[in-house]
Amino acid sequence: MKYLPIDKAEEFIATALQANQVPAADAKRVAQLMIQSDMVGADGHGIFRLPAYIKRIRAGGINLNPNIRIEREQGATALINGDNALGHLVMNRAVEVAIEKVKQHSVCWVGSHFGNHSGAASVYVRKLAEQGYIGIYMAVGNANHMAPWGGIDLLLSTNPIAIAVPAGDHPTVLLDIATTVAAYGKVKVAAQKGESIPDTWMIDKKGQPITDPQKSSEGSLLPIGGYKGYGLAVMIGLLAGTLNNAAVGKDTIDFNAHHDLITNTGQTIIAVDPNAFGDREQFVQRVITLVNDLKASSKLPGVNQIRVPGDGAAKVMAERSKQGIPISPELKEALNQCAKECGISVLDL
């Protein structure tokens, strides 16, 4: 495994995007946001996605000069029209609007449609937590990989949800999960590396486990917690998709298979100011107290450490800030092939 320094990774992405007519400022912003996915260990959502994004751009599936705008606005709510821009730009704007509104209303709900894949959900709620706010994110995934509980028709996506709670100088308490046992990006990474996947991730149309990621198109991802995860995926689809006049269910476009089609991706950001419920600093101290109590609690035999949501990401961020982004031989090959097609310098690792 080789490591690519953070600044070099951002430069590589930005250069590739600019080579495909993405404006310089947008390319730089997208590169920074993409690498933030890698920084927390969400390797299926960061630089790994660059070749796929370039394919969509070249096929005309992305608007490179969008008018990202507030389409509807009422009180503490807003609906953003992403104008089929690169998804990171749409969600970056959604967070900006959320911060403006939470300062005014103490709570806000910002939906978006006509967006695109925007990387790890944690990237956006973390931005809110760093400003002292509670952040909640929901989205409809960019391809249907899950059948309804007991069914075989792929009508639902991984539909992620992320929640971030500020904890002062301590690591942000942050949950970022797909409603499936594994995000489809992890399946794609395993396929790229030629590795198998656990038999708990996917089943075929007869209900039998799939362990070969190359056969993922023949089956369905399994929901977390059985029917409960299925129900959660449905509700997130309604709140991030249906409510936002975005694609969900049969209307969802598989962006892996159709690079030229508009996905109309729906996403939602909710922000809450703890000051609305009491003193913010006292709230943070109560958060820290709970975190410390959880970590100090008695352990089962063989367990060395009790972690809370966000611990893993904080550890990875610290490591990768020094080491850089891990680049497998397979990923290096894919990125260098992309570089050659874009007419830019390949990675020298």
Residue with tokens 């751009």: 57
Of the candidates 74, 75, 72, 79, the one whose C-alpha atom is nearest the C-alpha of residue 93 is 79
* b/e sequence 50-70, b meaning 16+ C-beta within 10 Å: bbbbbbbbeeebbbbebebee
Inter-residue contact 194 to 330 (CB < 8 Å): yes
Token output for 277 = 């419920």
CA distance 216 to 214: 6
What is the three-class DSSP state of 261?
Answer: coil
Torsional sign, CA 210, 237, 161, 253: positive
Q: Which are the contacts of 107, defined by CB distance < 8 A and separation ≥ 6?
A: 76, 270, 271, 272, 273, 276
Instruction: Please identify every residue annotated as catalytic.
Output: 117
> What's the one-letter identity of residue 289?
T
What is the three-class DSSP state of 146?
Answer: strand
Token output for 324 = 């850089």
Q: Name the DSSP class of 156.
A: B
Residue with tokens 């049969």: 250
Cα 338 vs. chain centroid, distance in angstroms?
22
Residue with tokens 């792929």: 154
Residue with tokens 């489809």: 184
Beta bridge partners of 73: 78
Strands 77-81 and 69-74: antiparallel
Q: Which are the contacts of 315, defined by CB distance < 8 A and separation ≥ 6?
A: none
* CA end-to-end span of the chain: 10
